[in-house]
Amino acid sequence: MEKLVIRGGKPLAGCVEISGAKNSALKLMCASLLTDDALTLDNLPRLADITTLSDLLNHLGVTITVRGGTGGRLKGRTMTFDASTISDTVAPYDIVRKMRASILVLGPLVSRAGEAIVSLPGGCAIGTRPIDLHLKALQTLGADIDLESGYVRASAPRGLKGAVIRFPFVSVGATENALMAATLAHGETVIENAAREPEISDLASCLSAMGAIIEGAGTETIRIQGVDRLHGATHRVMPDRVEAGSYAVAALITGGDLRLNGAGIEDMSAVIDALRAAGGTIAADDDSLHVRSNGRAHPLTLITQPFPGFPTDCQAQFMALAALADGASVITETIFENRYMHVSELCRLGADITVTGASATIRGVGRLRGAPVMATDLRASMGLALAGLAAEGTTEINRLYHLDRGYERLEEKLRGVGADVERVPA
């Protein structure tokens, strides 16, 4: 076990290279199951979740080769996935329990191989996040679904058939599973009330490069014309908009000045609006975001919503910023019902936060003080790290495996812009 030790109070200044998006890379890796040709992905981050999914794909028979991204300032890795032979259609509990995104092998497997047996997924404990919509989408496409002993068993021995899938509410994962499965279905599939996240568009772009016929990705209605087979392709993973938002908050919360290279600003409008509302000076160009603090942050009113609204994955980071704001902020979480577990840990650092139902009232304090804290999920852990960067004294963050799931070379990037941070044995 390891912990992160942060000696706070240092304004951060300099440049941070933004990595490829975890939330896109995982889905793109699953898409490799749809073809017997090789799929090459560039700009893949080095993360625990990438390793976990690689282990699962290896188990299913996918051969993976890796180039680059071994350290220093190298920008991401290139990985080639060869699923010419699917040797197993069972995604076992021991792997799937580590990461919820593992459920996204379900659609590609049943679409190409005609069957899949996938353990019910694990991941961060931020809410129930049921997979009902994933299963109903596949059933609509003609798959037979059974739940038995903690596993989903899906079969479509004669292939899937195009259909109209109407989601009762927006689900990113269900949209992605349905989209991938529909590429090899017979006929046209229409996904209504589809998620509009940029990661959906990135997946559709990759699938199109592989020969899929897709219209409307990034809108509420996606149309897919099924094809007989997909072929290999090379695709570059989009920038991580959540990582960029996290480092942008780091600039404001420490009174710093950061340039975020490769931030993918076209997908960050809601976050940029929130940064400006907090009083930061924000300058954006084609491939970077410049964020400068102008003193103590202004109070904020934020509501998490599906894209293009304010992202739930940035809620904890902005709550840390609000803890030091000049006034009271209100943050309302509408996506996950259990995503305030970081509140008690922020309060250990001196934050003044009250949660009532889905809303948190954060009364800004003059200072935070370092203390031992425990990460409860991926984004909460980054919120605690940001608070620690601004706090007086030393903050120790335990359960670092959460951070390692989603932030590439965190200590290296923070030290590169002036933070006093190190990873030590717990």
Buried b (16+ CB within 10 A) or exposed e, 93-122: bebbbbbbbbbbbbbbbbbbbbbbbbbbbb
Q: How far is CA 370 from CA 345, 376, 397, in A?
A: 11, 18, 10
For residues 369-374, give the mean pLDDT: 97
Contact at 8 Å (CB) between 326 and 364?
A: yes
pLDDT at 366 over 60: yes
Per DSSP, helices labelled H in 238-342 are 241-253, 269-277, 315-322
> Is 22 annotated in some ligand binding site?
yes
Q: Sort strands 2-7 and 213-215 into parallel, antiparallel or unpaired.
A: unpaired
For 147, phi and psi rounded to 5 degrees? -110, 125
Residue given tokens 């076992």 in the structure block: 92
Position 376 pLDDT exceeds 90: no
Answer yes or no: is pLDDT of 231 > 90.
Answer: yes
Six-digit token string for 370: 């370092």
Look at residues 377, 376, 396 and name the one whose alpha carbon lies nearest to residue 385. 396
Query: What token pair was written down for 364?
Result: 């800004």
C-beta separation of 49 from 99 below 8 A: yes
Residue 208 makes CB contacts below 8 A (sequence gap 6+) with 214
- Whether residue 92 has pLDDT greater than 70: yes
- Residue 30 annotated to the active site: no
214 in Cβ contact with 224 (< 8 Å): yes
Question: Where is pLDDT greater, at 69 or 217?
Answer: 217
Judged against a pLDDT cut of 80, whether residue 426 lies above it is answered with: yes
Average pLDDT over residues 195-207: 98
Q: Tokens 């590169």 — which residue?
A: 416
- Residue 236 CB: number of other CB atoms within 10 A? 17
- Order of strands across the sheet that contains 359-363: 301-303, 328-332, 359-363, 352-356
The answer on whether 313 is annotated among ligand-binding residues is yes
Calculate helix-pair angle for 172-182, 106-113, nearest 10 degrees.
10
User: Bridge partners of 239?
Assistant: 20
Model pTM above 0.85: yes
Active-site choice (124, 206, 314, 347): 124
Question: For the purposes of burial, counting CB atoms within 10 Å of the CB of 35, is it exposed (0-12), middle (13-18) or buried (19 or more)?
Answer: buried
- Residue 80 and residue 67: Cα distance in Å, rounded? 9
CA distance to 71, 132, 155, per residue, from 115 (Å) = 39, 18, 4
Tell whether residue 131 is among the known ligand binding residues.
Answer: yes
Candidate from 23-32, 269-278, 289-298, 400-409 with smallest mean pLDDT? 400-409
Mean of the per-residue pLDDT values of the chain: 94
CB 69 within 8 A of CB 76: yes
Domains of the chain: 2-18+240-425 (3.65.10.10), 22-228 (3.65.10.10)
64 labelled ligand-binding: no
Q: How confident is the model at residue 339 (pLDDT cuts 50, 70, 90)?
A: confident
* pLDDT at res. 355: 96
The model's confidence at residue 122, banded by pLDDT at 50, 70 and 90, is: low
75 pLDDT tier (thresholds 50, 70, 90): low
* Contact predicate 88/62, CB 8 Å: no
82 is in an annotated binding site: no
241-253 and 269-277 helices, crossing angle to 10°: 10
Q: What is the mean pLDDT of residues 47-75?
A: 84
The pLDDT confidence band at residue 415, using thresholds 50, 70 and 90, is: very high
> What is the structure's pLDDT at 337?
73
What percentage of the chain reaches a pLDDT higher than 70?
96
Q: Is the pLDDT of residue 72 over 60?
A: no
> Distance between CA 121 and CA 151 in Å, rounded?
9
Q: Is 130 annotated as a binding residue?
A: yes
CB proximity list for 234: less than 8 A, separation 6 or greater: 39, 40, 41, 42, 209
Q: Is the pLDDT of residue 126 over 70?
A: no
